[in-house]
Amino acid sequence: MMEYYKTCAYPKPQTRKKKKKQNGYKDKASRFCAYCGKPYAERHEVFGGSNRQISIDLGFQVDVCHEHHEELHMNCSKWAQEENIKLRRFYQKKYEEEKIDEGMTPEQARNDWMILIGRNYL
Ligand SMILES: [Zn+2]
Ligand SMILES: [Zn+2]
């Protein structure tokens, strides 16, 4: 547990630029946290960094309350680390299964995923 605090002692500073990016981020009473059910949830992109836009375009997203959202981004707690992996696996599997349904072989679907995201989570 102590290592998490060592590696995650400084949360990333929020820049103005980052906040302006469009991700359909609008607090809505009808949007609930996937984990605790709180309303006015925020939308979190499962694949961040350079894959953030892809996450938005393809709907690799999850609605979470502000607290759970911060925890996922900090990626320090055991829950957050496990959940980040779980979400990425879930969306990779879903993506590949859809491609297979469309007629790709599993190998082609995996290859397609690697071109898209650049990393295998399965
Ligand atoms: Zn997020
Ligand atoms: Zn929550």
Q: Where are the domains of the chain?
A: 2-9+22-117
Q: What is the pLDDT along the chain (122 residues), one digit of tens a residue?
A: 445 445 565 555 555 555 445 555 566 788 999 999 999 999 999 999 999 999 999 999 999 999 999 999 999 999 999 999 999 999 999 999 999 999 999 999 999 999 999 999 99
Paired with 63 in beta bridges are 43
Give 88 Cα–ligand 2 centroid separation in angstroms: 18
Please name the residue ranges forming H helices in the chain: 2-7, 16-20, 52-58, 66-74, 78-101, 106-117
Give 70 Cα–ligand 2 centroid separation in angstroms: 10
Q: Which of 51, 46, 56, 47 is nearest to 25 (CA)?
A: 56
Give 74 Cα–ligand 1 centroid separation in angstroms: 10
Judge whether 106 and 96 are in contact, CB under 8 Å. yes
Give 91 Cα–ligand 1 centroid separation in angstroms: 15
Q: Angle at CA 14, nearest 5°, toward 80 and 76?
A: 20
